[in-house]
Structure 1
């Protein structure tokens, strides 16, 4: 799917050190295409500004995304798979009507399609149906998959925000702690319907900028600077709200996932540090 130019920056200039950044991401074999890869990722368009269908509220969407995070973690899938699944869900919802009682089925079908794009080993459709506690059958899952493909005209390729974050953090030579915290902020933004209306590169830049500010102080900004502070501020505030919300009922999966020792208790540390940055009462 060709990427259209976003409203923020134009086609970004090739930053110095791009080939080395691709090497750090394990992409040494594609260095000759470094400029094209960077441009493709950084100018990938946002979703159309159309609102969600009237039958689906942002709260209902967030509940489905939270459930998808749980399924994704249980299956041990790649991070890009989760981001692509949520992108497909938002694309479908903004392209037409959706039945409320089929929202869980739609989310699982989007995850199944994302697996076909990103994973080497696919989960069995029957296994996905079992994870839904029998809410739908294998035949219903495959029919939903066909509906999604038809509505999206088979446009499944999407250089997502996680790729942009990897490129930007490699270019900035960010510490592992900064990248992990930025990844947490970026995943939190999946719960917010408003964040789907921003370009992936802007979401990634906001997550990395916020992580740098939290860990290294207010004056730190990663390079290259693709967006101004004013352009990133609405997204950063969205991520801060999500991090301070904690394990809210029905929206706890990402917080609990990043609270585990395997992820260094990142969500707990982020909430503590962000509270320390909040202005106190006058």
Structure 2
């Protein structure tokens, strides 16, 4: 700012005064002002290592920029030295001679400063898992882990001993490994759920609450439903679900004697719609009842049953357990038909259908069938594992089934007998009952 004021004042003096007299003074002032402006622009003269001035720059000199300039100057000096060495090879030889160590010669007075020795590189020790030193340690650790894994608890030891004593577990689902309909992957979980939910679908003891119905009437109804079921060639699931719906409805609703057969027809219609692909028509059920009831009567009863049971139709019946336990028995068709015969006898009699759970009825039917056909042993470990019952737990129900089998031809109820007397059922109804169970039952009754 000061230089600008001086220039302005001098220009004013030139304009006001005589130009010839003050011309030299004005030139000298301009030179001084330009130097001042040059100093303001940081036009600093920088010299290299040898003292030679470096070219001027037009940017402010910072520390980093000054360091860059010095590095450039040193690089230029090194280049000049290399040129000189290339021109004079003797200088190069002398430099190499000085660089080589000469232990034999005496040190000169003015010996060049020896370069500082470079630090030796640190030795890096690589520890590999395959090294010989670490192999014993790794083996020792592996041995400790294996010992920990091999250490058995008391429970695992006892279970292993019990399995060894009982023999190897038989895989009853091995033949169905490639059958997707058999659901082998979670069949055990399915039957665990059935066992936990079977009591929810059972009917209580309702006969005392029915003033016009007794156990014999119920047995006649079930025997007739077996004949209707066989006439339509329906699936076994339909028959067992029909009997379950009848018992559950009678347990919750008082029914007149004249409507008992109508309850059976409505229950069979519901079970057929639930289980069958082609359910019987209502007109066909009317014909089977000898036109005692009309189509409207059957449809009204169907609505009553569904409303009373709140549409709860998915319940585990004895048939689902019979199918599984027969598979665990691993026997022929004779045992299978005998099991179904005893199962239907158990459902026809009120004392067993209401008193025992579906799984216990199925297991007892398998046990009684094996006793009837003299299969030894009557109860093995495979059956115990899949049914969850011991032989002692089945004895009471099995004795009752054997008694019903012995009374199969007594009275007017011949529906089950006619169903199982043919060759298609392996003449199961013609076989004599299990004498061993009848003898135990007779001894027990005589002692009481």
TM-score (norm 2): 0.55
Residue 240 of structure 2 corresponds to which residue in structure 1? 83
CA contact under 8 A between 2:262 and 2:293: conserved in structure 1?
A: yes
Q: Structure 1 regions of 5+ residues with no counterpart?
A: 1-14
Which of 212, 226, 243 aligns to 1:69? It is 226
Which of 409, 434, 440 aligns to 1:274? It is 434
Are 1:201 and 2:392 counterparts? no
Residue 51 of structure 1 corresponds to which residue in structure 2? 206
SS in 2 for 1:216: coil
Change (3 A) 1:259 1:27: farther
SS in 2 for 1:259: coil
Which of 324, 342, 347 aligns to 1:185? It is 342
CA distance in 2 between partners of 1:161 and 1:48 (Å): 13
CA contact under 8 A between 1:81 and 1:119: conserved in structure 2?
A: yes
Q: 1:100: Cα distance to partner?
A: 1.1
Alpha-carbon displacement from aligned partner over 1:130-181 (angstroms, at most 9, x marks no partner): 1100110000000000000011010111222112111112123222221221
Are 1:100 and 2:257 counterparts? yes
CA distance in 2 between partners of 1:35 and 1:264 (Å): 30
Residue 161 of structure 1 corresponds to which residue in structure 2? 318
- Structure with bigger RCO (C-alpha 8 Å, 6+ apart): 1
CA RMSD of aligned residues (A): 2.5
CA contact under 8 A between 1:129 and 1:138: conserved in structure 2?
A: yes
CA distance in 2 between partners of 1:181 and 1:249 (Å): 21
Which of 100, 113, 138 aligns to 2:295? It is 138
CA distance in 2 between partners of 1:248 and 1:139 (Å): 37
Change (3 A) 1:43 1:72: same
Change (3 A) 1:123 1:216: same
Are 1:42 and 2:42 counterparts? no
Residue 224 of structure 1 corresponds to which residue in structure 2? 383
CA distance in 1 between partners of 2:273 and 2:420 (Å): 26
CA distance in 1 between partners of 2:370 and 2:414 (Å): 24
Residue 174 of structure 2 corresponds to which residue in structure 1? 20
Alpha-carbon displacement from aligned partner over 1:21-58 (angstroms, at most 9, x marks no partner): 7x38x654623332321212333423243322232100
Alpha-carbon displacement from aligned partner over 1:100-129 (angstroms, at most 9, x marks no partner): 110000001101111011100011101101
May I ask how many residue pairs the two structures share in their alignment?
265
CA contact under 8 A between 1:115 and 1:122: conserved in structure 2?
A: yes
Are 1:173 and 2:335 counterparts? no
CA distance in 1 between partners of 2:372 and 2:389 (Å): 18
Q: How does 1:120-131 map to 2 (within 5 A)?
A: 120-131=277-288
CA contact under 8 A between 1:161 and 1:204: conserved in structure 2?
A: yes
CA distance in 2 between partners of 1:104 and 1:28 (Å): 36
CA contact under 8 A between 2:379 and 2:391: conserved in structure 1?
A: no
Q: Structure 2 regions of 5+ residues with no counterpart?
A: 1-168
TM-score (norm 1): 0.85
Q: 1:278: Cα distance to partner?
A: 4.2
CA contact under 8 A between 2:238 and 2:268: conserved in structure 1?
A: yes
* Higher radius of gyration, 1 or 2: 2
Are 1:247 and 2:409 counterparts? yes
CA contact under 8 A between 2:339 and 2:369: conserved in structure 1?
A: yes
Alpha-carbon displacement from aligned partner over 1:214-260 (angstroms, at most 9, x marks no partner): 21356420423122334322321221122111233331100121111
CA distance in 2 between partners of 1:54 and 1:16 (Å): 51
